[in-house]
């Protein structure tokens, strides 16, 4: 299974874009990249996922490099409520067991 | 619509007692998953169910752990003779079907503390 590497922590000023990187250099062609976040004492919340193309939804944008070895989650206008741990995971086909590492702890500062 | 719900939200028990945790998946979701999250750590897969197929129990840490699901509805995770190392948040998730491309939606979790 492809492993992911994320920085342990990041700070972002309120109202600015938060750009969270993820490396997945061993990803294979049919593996999806998923992003979840976990706000303190809550269950993980789905944010976005993608395969090859960049994706955007009401929460965030996902930019996947052309070689698919890394991706960036963008929160366009971070708010204090976006303070959470963000997890990047790679899902191989036929695997349903999510494996979350320790993620990136994003702190949005007022 | 309603999301995944879990009960109780918190459970404190004494070492050696049995506990039962409940999960109500999103209506219409055929796949259901249980995970464990120890303090400050990532998620550990425990078990998943898909319809009436045999569950994948490969993540259950010991024979003290078991889970049941009736059809495509409620699931219960039972831990017998609890130990202090069982203290964790137990998370349930569901998805429309068992496919790696079907997003798993998580409940709020049950925080289990074994004294």
How far, CA to CA in Å, does A45 sit from each of A82, B26, B62, B104?
11, 14, 28, 9
Q: Which residues of A16-38 are buried (b: 16+ CB within 10 A; e: fewer)?
A: eebebebbbeebeeebbbbbbbb
pLDDT in tens, A62-86: 999 999 999 999 999 999 999 999 9
pLDDT in tens, B10-62: 999 999 999 999 999 999 899 999 999 998 888 889 999 988 888 888 889 99
Check: CB of residue B36 under 8 Å from CB of residue B90: yes
Three-class SS of residue B54? Answer: coil
Mean pLDDT within A32-47: 91
Please name the member of B35, B91, B100 whose beta carbon is closest to the beta carbon of A95.
B100
Q: Write down the pLDDT at residue A2.
A: 60
Report the Cα–Cα distance between both ends of chain B, in Å, rounded.
37
- Inspect the interface and report whether the beta carbons of A96 and B108 lie closer than 8 Å: no
Three-class SS of residue A47? Answer: strand
- Inspect the interface and report whether the beta carbons of A95 and B33 lie closer than 8 Å: no
Please name the member of B42, B59, B106 whose beta carbon is closest to the beta carbon of A43.
B106
Mean pLDDT within A23-45: 90
**Contact residues, chain B, for A45 at CB < 8 Å:** 106
Q: How far is A110 from chain B (nearest CA, A)?
A: 25
If phi > 0 it is left, if psi is from -120 to 50 it is alpha, else beta; for residue A105 that is beta
């Amino acid at each position: 299974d492809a492993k992911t590497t994320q920085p342990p922590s990041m700070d972002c000023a309120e109202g600015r874009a938060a750009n969270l990187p993820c490396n997945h250099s061993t990803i294979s062609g049919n593996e999806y990249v998923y992003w979840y976040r976990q706000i303190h004492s809550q269950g993980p919340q789905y944010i976005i996922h993608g395969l090859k193309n960049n994706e955007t939804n009401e929460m965030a944008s996902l930019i996947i490099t052309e070689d698919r070895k890394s991706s960036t989650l963008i929160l366009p206008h971070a708010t204090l409520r976006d303070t959470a741990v963000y997890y990047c995971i790679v899902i191989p086909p036929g695997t349903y067991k999510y494996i979350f590492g320790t993620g990136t702890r994003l702190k949005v500062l007022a | 619509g309603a999301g995944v719900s879990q009960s109780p939200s918190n459970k404190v028990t004494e070492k050696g007692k049995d506990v039962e945790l409940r999960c109500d998946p999103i209506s219409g979701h055929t796949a259901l998953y249980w995970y464990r999250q120890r303090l400050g750590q990532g998620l550990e897969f425990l078990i998943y169910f898909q319809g009436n197929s045999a569950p994948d129990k490969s993540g259950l840490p010991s024979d003290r752990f078991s889970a049941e699901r009736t059809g495509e509805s409620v699931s219960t995770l039972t831990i017998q003779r609890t130990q202090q190392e069982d203290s964790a948040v137990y998370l349930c998730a569901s998805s429309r079907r068992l496919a790696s491309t079907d997003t798993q939606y998580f409940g709020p979790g049950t925080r289990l503390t074994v004294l």
